[in-house]
Amino acid sequence: MSGGELKYINEAFETNWIAPLGPNVDAFENEIAHYIGANGAVAVSSGTAAIHLALSLLDVKKGDTVFCSTLTFVASANPILYQGAEPVFIDSEPETWNMSPEALEKAFIDASRTGKLPKAVIVVNLYGQSAKMDEILSICNQYDVPMIEDAAESLGSSYKGMSSGTFGKFGIFSFNGNKIITTSGGGMLVSDDVDALNKARFLATQSRDPAPHYQHSVMGFNYRMSNILAGVGRGQLEVLEERVLARRIIFSRYYQGLSHLPGISFMPELENTRSNRWLTTLTIDEKEAGISSNYLIQSLAEENIEARPVWKPLHLQPLFKRVKYYPYKNNRSVSDHLFTTGVCLPSGSNLTEEEMIRVIDCLKNAFKLKI
């Protein structure tokens, strides 16, 4: 927390605006929309809820398919199941670790041949890095299929001068406790389609019809953000650029300290983009380095330093074991490789120089002990 959140929280208490509506909610929506350059935004209870609303607005239903990035957290795909639809997973590519335009095109060609195009494409901006939006949007537009940009991890990032979250029909952000700014739990649906956003507000408030009594003509959801949490978000948004700068400095410090080690490669930053570097991530070539990613993670754990593998691809998850998957190449799955070789390092915005040095020294020592 920055401390600035208390001003807005206290206002909520003083005015007794506690429910999931109120001045902080309205202001937080407007401030996010202004920051990213979108026409509007709807504050909701989670990023998952925002994806679910986007799919509902696109009329995704049972029997439909939705193309989705495979290298992501399960929350990107679960809303597809909520709607009774079926995901089809698309591999990553090496330059961004995000959805491969080549694999996406293969999936569209096959779908076109069978006469069953997807209802939507969910593209995830992994660890703050934007996907190849020009190429992906071109393919989606060719087949007239809307894109949902899962920017849960990439608030504050940009692609060719445009803010992350603004490229699809809908964009979504997460304010979970681990994100670059947080409301403890919460999310945001953004779009240039104001009518769709108004419908999203209706659906997110149990689809209550405009009547003096409680009347409901369609199924709705309890997805709105509280006025208190929106106040936390307003205070956090004021320091977003500071947080992005801090994360980018952390990445640079790790890069300077570790990039010379054999077999170490850091997550790339695509030309003409700015990643918020939500997490600093790297891969290790076991043949070149003589040690594995698991060995590095365990070495850090022994020093009470938490590191993790990158996301386990969704096509490898038991939940999705029968789901169709399109790899980057016929004989090459980039997401599988990233999962087995990738490591996420401690990257909190408040990480101190001493803590970073400690992590770097522990990793260097792991190499010394093994080589």
Q: How confident is the model at residue 352 (pLDDT cuts 50, 70, 90)?
A: very high
Query: For residues 97 and 71, is the Cβ–Cβ distance under 8 A?
Result: yes
371 pLDDT more than 60: no
* pLDDT (tens digit per residue) in 277-323: 999 999 999 999 999 999 999 999 999 999 999 999 999 999 999 99
Half-sphere exposure of 97 (CA within 13 A, CB side): 26
1 pLDDT more than 90: no
Domain 241-370 CATH (choose: 3.40.50.10310, 3.40.50.300, 3.90.480.20, 3.90.1150.10): 3.90.1150.10
pTM of structure = 0.95
Please report the pLDDT score of residue 52 as a whole number. 98
Q: How confident is the model at residue 20 (pLDDT cuts 50, 70, 90)?
A: confident
What percent of the chain stands above pLDDT 90?
Answer: 92
The domain spans of the chain are 5-239, 241-370
CATH number 3.30.1330.60 given to 5-239: no
Name the residue type at position 305. Answer: I
* pLDDT (tens digit per residue) in 174-189: 999 999 999 999 999 9
Average confidence score pLDDT of the chain: 95
* pLDDT (tens digit per residue) in 258-272: 999 999 999 999 999
Q: How far is CA 24 from the centre of its chain?
A: 24
Name the residue type at position 109. Answer: I
Active site residues: 179
What's the CA gap between 324 and 107, in Å, rounded? 10
What's the CA gap between 251 and 125, in Å, rounded? 17
